[in-house]
Amino acid sequence: MSNFTKARIEVYGDDASKGHFSPPFHEFMFNPEAVRVTKSVTPKQGRTASSSAPKHQFTSGNPAQLEFGELLFDEFDSRGNVYVKHVAWFEALLKANEDLHRPPRVVFMWGPGWGAEASPNKINTGIWWVTGLDVNYTMFIADGTPVRCTCKLTLSEERPESGENKQSPDTAHVHMVGRGDTLQAISASEYDDPGEWRRIAQANGIDDPIHLKPGQRLLIPPILR
């Protein structure tokens, strides 16, 4: 017979100690019946000469969403306050921490196939932000203390930098054009915004943004903030 493992949300890595987040994890009272993972990509529409339809340019995907529909927390037997014992912990994940200057990151742990260090062939290997908490209090005792609730919890994937050698947008550097590169795609890669392609064109004296040559070197000007 296999061991029963409780699912839990755990504050990721150093965020727990740097943010003085204690305890660093919270177990679900009852394991979720379903976990919904949503991934999507939004294409950018670019104009193409002599074409009746816009050309779709795929620059990057949207952050994945991890959703838990009905998490039940019940303290009726102990007459405990379900907000104090459970909900308050999750609410703290939605607030910017004074030491971190941002909310803490989390991982969802449920056995060996879950969490940021899990095998990549599992359905979840992400690091997440808590972006949504919807609480429905369904039972109170005579003095008004909430003792039972259901929660809808939404996590949004932390998006890592694309590539270890990506330059900061406030530093000028040189980009070598690859086969099939467009100014919009290069702008999306360098600035995370395909709409900044005119900045690159102006810096390099490019009049025709469509025709780039593989091996061509482009100056990527900084975005000063």
Does the reported pTM lie above 0.85?
no
Residues 57-77 pLDDT 10s: 555 678 889 999 899 999 999
Q: Is the pLDDT of residue 80 over 50?
A: yes
- Residue 159: the pLDDT is 67
Residues 27-34 have a mean pLDDT of 92
Residue 25 contacts residue 115 (beta carbons within 8 Å): no
**Domain ranges in the chain?**
8-157, 173-220
- Residue 16: the pLDDT is 85
Residue 174 contacts residue 218 (beta carbons within 8 Å): yes
Q: Is the pLDDT of residue 160 over 60?
A: no
Residue 106 contacts residue 90 (beta carbons within 8 Å): no
Q: pLDDT higher for 194 or 8?
A: 8
β-pair partners for 136 = 150
Looking at CATH, the fold of the domain delimited by 173-220 is given as Membrane-bound Lytic Murein Transglycosylase D; Chain A (3.10.350)
Residue 128 contacts residue 107 (beta carbons within 8 Å): yes
Q: Is the pLDDT of residue 122 over 90?
A: no
- Residue 162: the pLDDT is 43
Query: Which tokens hold the place of 28?
Result: 């679900």
- Residue 82: the pLDDT is 98
CATH of the domain spanning 8-157? 2.40.30
The single residue listed with the structure tokens 């998490």 is 71
Residues 199-205 have a mean pLDDT of 89
Query: Which tokens hold the place of 56?
Result: 């779709």
- Residue 163: the pLDDT is 41
- Residue 114: the pLDDT is 56
173-220 and 8-157 share a CATH fold: no
Please state the separation of Cα 51 from the chain's center in Å: 36
User: In what order do the strands lie in the sheet containing 8-11?
Assistant: 25-27, 8-11, 106-109, 128-140, 146-157, 65-74, 36-38
Kindly give, in sequence order, each residue whose CB lies less than 8 Å from that of residue 87, ignoring residues fewer than 6 positions away. 73, 133, 135, 149, 151
Query: Which tokens hold the place of 14?
Result: 């150093």
> Mean pLDDT for the chain?
81
Residues 120-141 have a mean pLDDT of 83
Q: Is the pLDDT of residue 123 over 60?
A: no
Percent of the chain at pLDDT > 90 equals 31
97 phi/psi in degrees, rounded to 5: -80, 140
Please calculate the CA angle 48-49-54 and round it to the nearest 5 degrees. Answer: 30
